[in-house]
Structure 1
Amino acid sequence: MQEYLQRTEKILSRLNQLAAITEEPGQISRTFGSEAFMKGSQLVKEWMEAAGLQTRTDNIGNVRGRLEPAPHSKRTFVIGSHIDTVQNAGKFDGPLGVLLGLDLLENLSTIKPELPFNLELIAFSDEEGVRFHTTYLGSKVVAGSFEETALTKKDAAGITLNEAIKTLGGDPEKLKHDAIPSEVWVGYFEVHIEQGPVLYELNIPVAIVTSISGQNRIEITLKGMAGHAGTVPMPMRRDALCGASDFILKTEEYARKHKESLVATVGKLAIPNQASNVIPGVVNFTLDIRSANETTLKIAEKDLRTLAEELCRIRNLELSWELVQQTEPVTCNPKLNDLLSEAITEAGYAETKLVSGAGHDAVPISKVAPVSMLFVRCYEGISHNPLENAEPKDIAAALRVSENFLHKLLQEQLQQQHIGVP
C-alpha cells in the first residue's frame, strides 16, 4: 500500500497545481474555453507528454493522450473524466479521474509492447455545461453524438459556441473527425468522487457504480400580473411567486413520497423587475428530476406538469414548461463491473455498489461503448463546493483497485487474442 500512497502524493500535487489555475482569485473556476481553462489544459497536456503518451488537443478542446501497442491496433480502451469546473468548485470533481488515469498509464508504459489494444486517456473539455448550458460537450464529440445545433448557443456575453471553439484553436467543421468509431471501442473507465455521503458514512473507500440516473431538466415560467403591494386585495392577486412557492413545496412533497426511486430539485429562481413593493408578475425557475428508472422519470415529469397546470388554474396564472435537457438512465457494463468487483476484493476492500445520481461523461459514451465507473469516498459527500475533499488513503485505494482492474482487463483481452476470440 505504501507504493500507492507515494503515487497518490504525486496525484495530489498535480491536483493542487491545476486548482491554482482559475478565473477567479481565491476560488476554483475553470469554465470551458476560458483563459484559465486553456492554461489548465496545456498543463495537463504537458504532463501527458512527459509520461510518453502520444498527445493532442482535439477540436472541442479535449486533451487526449494514447499508449499504442506494437503491432498497431485500432481497438481502443478509454480512461477519462473532465477538467472543467463549476463556479467556485472543489478540486477533485473531474480532475481526480484524469490525474489518477495519468498515473495508471505512466506506470503501464514499460509494458507497452504487450498491450492488446490502444489505451487513451481523455481530459474532457466540458462536462459541467456552465458556460453554454450544454453538458457533455467533450464526451459527445468523442462518442460521435455532438449536435451541430449547439454551435449557435450563446454564453452570457453573447459569444457563440462556434466562436468559442475557434478561440480554442479548434475547427467546428472537423468535430466529427474526433469521434472514436463505435466498432473500435473496447470500453470506458472513469474514476470519480462519489459526490454523495454513502461511502463517507460507511467508511468504505471505493464503490462500483451500477447505473447512472437519467435526468430531465425543465425551465418553467409562471406569469401572473404585477401590481402595487399596497393596493391590490389579497383575493384579487395573481402572484406568480406565490404560485412558484406552492409548486416548489408540492414538488418536494412528491419527491419525498417517491424517495426510493427519484429526486427532484428547483435549483434556480429569478423574478424579473423585482421590488419590495411590487407583487411579482413573472417568475422563472428550473426543475431537475432524476431517476435510475426511465419509466419513473417519465411519470414524474407528467405528474409534476399536471400539478403545475392545476396550481395555475387555481391561481389564474399562465404556465410555460420547456424540457431543455433529457438523458436516459445508463446501466454500467456487467462484464467490466465483474472485473472491477474482483479488483476490489483482491485489494482487500468490501464490495459496495451504488447508483450515481449525478451525471458523468460515461453517459454519452455508453451509447457507443461498454462503460464502468469507480466511486471514491469524499468528505461528507460534499461536491461542487470548496470543501470538497478526498483523503490520500482513499485515493490510494482507488489507485490500487484501478490498477488491478486494468491488469485484469489486459490479461483477459490477451487471452482472448491468444485463442482467437474477436
Structure 2
Amino acid sequence: MQHEYLARAERIMQRIQQLAAISEDPDGVTRTFGTPAFLEGRDLVQSWMEAAGLPTRVDGIGNLRARLESVNPDAKTFVLASHIDTVVNAGKFDGPLGVLMGLDLLEELIGQRTELPFHIELIAFSDEEGVRFHTTYLGSEVVTGNFDHSLLARSDSAGITLADALVTMGTNAAQLAADAIPAAEWLGYFEMHIEQGPVLWERNVPVALVTAIAGQQRVELHFRGMAGHAGTVPMHMRQDALCAAAEFVLTAEQFAQAHGKGLVATVGKLNISHAASNVIPGEVTCTLDLRSPNQAQLADAYRALLAFAEGLAAQRNVELVWKLVQQTAPVACSEPLNELLTQAIAAAGHETIALVSGAGHDAVPVSAVAPATMMFIRCYKGISHNPLENVELADLAAAIAVADQFMHLLRTQNPTR
C-alpha cells in the first residue's frame, strides 16, 4: 500500500513541476489572476481533470470546477478545493498542491468505481492571493454567494478593472450570482495545503489538523507631504512622506512584538512616487497586513495603529489617507469534520498536531455557509511565498493516505448530516 501512495505522490509531483513551468516570470513562479500565464496554467489543470473523465467548467470569476456525481441526484455537495493563482515570485506548492491532491482523490474514486452518497466538486479557485486587485478570496466568495459586485469596478496597477479583466478572460460577470452553491446544498469543505510554518518541519511530522484560521485586516496608507530639493530645503521645514512611512513601518513591527501572542503586523509593499536620490519624497504608499486568531486583539491593534498613523501625520505635517481594503474575522474549523480528520490521521499512524493557521485560506469565506476543515502538509523549513518552498515525497505520500482515510470516513459516517 505504501508503494501505491508513493506512486500517487510521484504523479502529483510531476504535475506540480509541469504547472510551475508556466509563469509570467521566466526565472520564477508567478501566475496572478487573469494573466496569460494564469490562463495557460488553468488550461493545463483542466486537461488533467478531463483526462480523468470529469466534466469541467469555468465559472464567471474564472474558477475551474470539476464534479463527480453521486448516485443520489438530490444529495448534497462536498467540496475539495484550493487555489491556483500565486503571489509574485512564488513557490510551486502553495495552492496548486491542494487542487492536485483533490484530483488524485477523485481519480482513485473513479478507478475504484466507488458509489458516492454525496456529490464531490473539485474547485481550483482563480484568486485567493489577491495580488492583482488587492482583494482576497474572489473565487471562493463567488462560490459561497458572498461576492461583492462593487469590486467589479476596482482597478489593478495598470488601470484595468476587474470587470474588464473578466471580459479578457472570456468569462461572464452576469453569471456570478448563479455560480454560487446554495448554502442548503453544501455538505462540507476540505482543503489540503502546505503548512507555511515550521512546526511540522521541526517535529518531523507529515500532517497537521487545522483548528482555526486567523482573522486579517489589510490597509493601504498614503502619506502625502511636499516634494522638494534635497539640497535646499532645511531639515526642520521638510514634509518628508518617506520618513513618516518609515516611522510607521517600525512602529507597526514594535507594536506587534509587544502586544500579545498571535498578533502579527507586516508592511509588505512600499512605493515612492517620482523617486530620485536628490528629491525629498513627497508621496509614499504602503500597505499594512494585520493578523490574529483573536478578534478583540485584532480590532484593538487596528485602532491603535490607525491612531498612531493619524498622530504621526499631524506631527510631521503630512496628509494621511488610511483605506481599509479587506478584512476577515477569525474562523473556527468544523468540530465534526475535524474529528473525522483526527481519526484519519491516527489511522495512518501519525500523532495529531493541532495548529491555528496564520495564513488566510479559502476555507474562511466557505465557513460562513458550510462546515470546513483543513489539513496541513509539512514543507521545507516552513518556507512559503518563496521559490524555496518544497514538499518531500514521503510527506506527500503520507498526506495522501490520510486524505484517503478521511474521505472513506466521510462516506461511511457523514457526521455533517
Task: Give the C-alpha shift of residue 110 in structure 1.
Answer: 4.4
Could you tell me how far 1:112 is from its partner in structure 2? 4.9
More displaced stretch, 365-374 vs 239-248: 239-248
- Structure 1's 402 and 137: CA in aligned 2 closer, same or farther, altered over 3 A? same
Instruction: Please give the secondary structure, in 2, of the residue aligned with 1:114.
Output: coil
Report which stretch shifted further, 83-92 or 401-410. 83-92
Say yes or no: does 1:5 pair with 2:9.
no
TM-score with structure 1 setting the length: 0.95
Alignment of 1:21-420 (within 5 A): 21-110=22-111, 112=113, 114-413=115-414
Letter in 2 for 1:245: A
Q: Deviation at 1:4?
A: 0.8
Deviates most, 160-169 or 248-257 = 160-169
Q: CA deviation at 1:272?
A: 1.3
Q: Distance in 1 between matches of 2:382 and 2:271?
A: 28
Whole-angstrom CA distance in 2 between matches of 1:108 and 1:351 = 26
- What is the alpha-carbon distance in structure 1 between the residues aligned to residue 110 and residue 32 of structure 2? 32
Equivalent pair of 1:209/1:355 in contact (CA under 8 Å): yes
Query: Alignment partner of 2:321: what SS?
Result: strand
Let me know the Cα RMSD of the aligned residues: 1.6
CA contact (8 A) 1:312 1:319 kept: yes
Rounded Cα–Cα distance in structure 2 between residues aligned with 1:360 and 1:78: 14
Q: Distance in 1 between matches of 2:230 and 2:111?
A: 74
CA distance in 1, matches of 2:54, 2:107: 8
Measured after TM superposition, the shift of residue 230 of structure 1 is: 2.3
TM-score by length of 2: 0.96
- Once the two structures are superposed, residues 58-84 of structure 1 have per-residue CA deviations (whole angstroms, 9 ceiling, x without a partner) of 222211111112132340000000111
Q: What is the rounded CA distance, in whole Å, between the counterparts of 1:89 and 1:261 in structure 2?
A: 25
SS of aligned partner of 2:320: strand
CA distance in 2, matches of 1:14, 1:142: 25
AA of the residue aligned to 1:124: F
- Aligned identity (percent) is 59
Q: CA deviation at 1:339?
A: 0.7
Shift of 1:358: 0.9
**1:386 aligned partner, one-letter code:** P
Deviation at 1:113, TM superposition (A): 5.7
Q: Secondary structure at the match of 1:319?
A: strand
AA in 1 matched with 2:402: V
Distance 2:201 2:32 in 1: 28
The CA deviation at 1:111 is: 5.2
Show structure 2 runs of 5+ residues with no match.
Answer: none
Deviation at 1:178, TM superposition (A): 0.9
Distance 1:47 1:239 in 2: 54
Q: What SS does the aligned partner of 1:92 have?
A: coil
Q: For 1:344-397, what per-residue CA distance to the aligned partner results, in whole angstroms no more than 9, with x for missing partners?
A: 111111110111111111111111111100011111111111111011111111
CA deviation after TM superposition for structure 1 residue 248, in Å: 1.4
| Count of residues paired in the alignment | 416
Which letter does structure 2 place at the counterpart of 1:163?
D
Cα gap change, 1:133 to 1:240, in 2 (>3 Å): same
Question: More deviation in 344-353 or 40-49?
Answer: 40-49
User: Contact 2:67/2:119 (CA < 8 Å) preserved in 1?
Assistant: yes
CA deviations on 1:79-113 (whole Å, 9 max, x unpaired) are: 00011112221110111000011111111124556
Helix, strand or coil at the partner of 2:176? helix
CA distance in 2, matches of 1:177, 1:309: 43
Partners in 2 of 1:327 and 1:394 — Cα distance? 31
Report the AA paired with residue 257 of structure 2.
Answer: R
The change in CA–CA distance for 1:270 and 1:26 in structure 2 (over 3 A counts) is: closer
